[in-house]
Amino acid sequence: MKFDDLDVESEIENTWCPGCGNFGLLNSVKQAVKKLEDEGIGRDIMLISAGIGCHGKIFDYLNIGGLYSIHGRESATIQGMKFANPELKVMAFGGDGDAYGEGLSHLIFAAKRNADITMIVHNNGNYALTTGQKSPTSVQGFKGPSSPEGSVNEPINPLRVLLSSDAGFVARGYPGKMQHLTDLIVEAVKHEGFSLVDVLQPCVTFNDTYEKYNELVEVLEKPAETRKEAVELAEEEERLPIGILYKEEMPVYNEKVYPEGNPVEDRMDREERLEAVKKILDEKR
Ligand SMILES: Cc1ncc(C[n+]2csc(CCOP(=O)(O)OP(=O)(O)O)c2C)c(N)n1
Ligand code: SF4
C-alpha cells in the first residue's frame, strides 16, 4: 500500500464529544507520524492496533495499516505483529479501563520481556464508551453508574506499575501540551524496546479534568536518573510531571529470541515444516 498521497487523518466521520481530550491526542499522533515519516520511518513499515472504547475510534481516524483488536488485547496484538516481522514499527492505543484493567497482564509482560512496541494509553479515569463507570485509574470518590455513592478504591498508578515491571521507556503526556505530546510519541516510537505513553486525557462528558490538569501539569526538564527516582516522580500529587520519566536501553525481546532473520521472510512452506518436524521426531526416537 502506498501512503505518500494519503493524509494521516482518514475521512471517517469523527464522533467524539466536542472538547474531548482525544482530539488533541489525535493531532499529536498525526504530527508525530509526519515527523517519523520525515525521519525515514514511513507508514509502509508502521502498523497500529486499538482496544475497544472511545479511544479505539482513533483506529478509524488514522490512515495507518493495522488490526482493530478486542478489549485489552491491543498490546498482545502488536507484540504478535512485531514478533512476526521485526522490520515493523508497531503502536497501539488503549484506554485506562482497557489497558490497565482487562489488559494489564499483557502490558506487564510486554514490559518485562521488553517487546519492541509503543503503547499509548488514553487515560481518562473512566470507562467512557460504556457511559462512565469507574475504572482502575478513577480517583477515590469518583461517581458513576457503578459507584453512585463514590468509588471507595484508591486508583492504581500505571506509571509506577510499569516502572516496577522493568519498562525501559515510561512517559506521561497531556493533550493540552500538544507539541510536547507529539515529541513524546516520536521518541517512544524510536525507542528500541517497550515504551509507554500514558496520556492524561480529559473526558468532558464523564470526567472533565481540564481545570485540574491545566493547574497541575508541569513539563519535566529531563528524565529521572534512576528507576527509583522515576517512581517518585510518578507518585507526585502536588504537581503532575509530564515528559519522559525514565528511559533505559535494554536487549529487545525479538532479538533475544532470534538474533538474526525475519520469520515472515524466512518462513518455511508446508512441506519444509513437515520435513523439519519429522526430522526432530526421528532424532528423538
Ligand atoms: C471483554 C470485554 N469486556 C467488556 C466490554 C465492554 N466494553 C466496551 S468499551 C468498554 C469500556 C472502555 O473503557 P476504556 O478502555 O477506559 O476506554 P474509553 O471508552 O474510556 O476510551 C467496555 C467495558 C468489551 N467490549 N469486551
Ligand atoms: S465520552 Fe468522554 S472520552 Fe468518550 S468521546 Fe466523549 S468526552 Fe471523549
Q: Among the atoms of ligand 2, which is closest to the Cα of residue 54?
A: 4
The number of distinct structural domains making up the chain is: 1
Report CA(54)–ligand 1 centroid distance (Å). 8
61 lines ligand 2 (CB under 6 A): no
135 lines ligand 2 (CB under 6 A): no
Report pLDDT for 46: 98
Radius of gyration over every alpha carbon of the chain, rounded to an integer in angstroms: 20
Report pLDDT for 113: 98
* Average pLDDT along the chain, 285 residues, taken 10 residues at a time: 83 98 98 97 97 98 97 98 96 98 98 98 98 98 98 98 98 98 98 98 98 98 98 97 98 94 87 95 91
Residues 6+ apart with CB under 8 A from 229: none
- Whether residue 157 lies inside any domain: the answer is yes
- Whether residue 200 lies inside any domain: the answer is yes
Report pLDDT for 254: 96
Q: Which ligand is nearest to the CA of 53?
A: 1
What are the start-end ranges of the H helices in 194-252? 210-216, 227-235
What are the start-end ranges of the H helices in the chain? 22-38, 58-61, 74-84, 96-97, 104-112, 158-164, 178-190, 210-216, 227-235, 253-257, 270-284
Residues 6+ apart with CB under 8 A from 8: 29, 30, 33, 34, 43, 62, 63, 64
Report CA(180)–ligand 2 centroid distance (Å). 22
Q: Which ligand is nearest to the CA of 136?
A: 1
∠ CA 175-56-27, nearest 5°, is 30
- Whether residue 207 lies inside any domain: the answer is yes
Cβ(82)–Cβ(118) below 8 Å: no
- Whether residue 206 lies inside any domain: the answer is yes
- Whether residue 235 lies inside any domain: the answer is yes
53 lines ligand 1 (CB under 6 A): yes
Helix axes 22-38 and 178-190, enclosed angle (nearest 10): 50
Report pLDDT for 1: 59
185, amino acid identity: I
- Whether residue 272 lies inside any domain: the answer is no
Measured CA to CA in angstroms, residue 270 lies from 33, 81, 114, 275 at distances of 38, 21, 31, 9
Report pLDDT for 196: 98
80, amino acid identity: G
Q: CA 171 from chain center: how many Å?
A: 10
Report pLDDT for 145: 97
Cβ(36)–Cβ(189) below 8 Å: yes
CATH number of 83's domain: 3.40.50.970
Q: Among the atoms of ligand 2, which is closest to the Cα of residue 207?
A: 2
58 lines ligand 2 (CB under 6 A): no
The Cα 91–Cα 47 span in angstroms is: 7
Cβ(231)–Cβ(157) below 8 Å: no
Phi then psi for residue 121, to 5 deg, are -110, 120
Report pLDDT for 246: 98
- Whether residue 147 lies inside any domain: the answer is yes
Q: Which domain holds residue 229?
A: 22-260
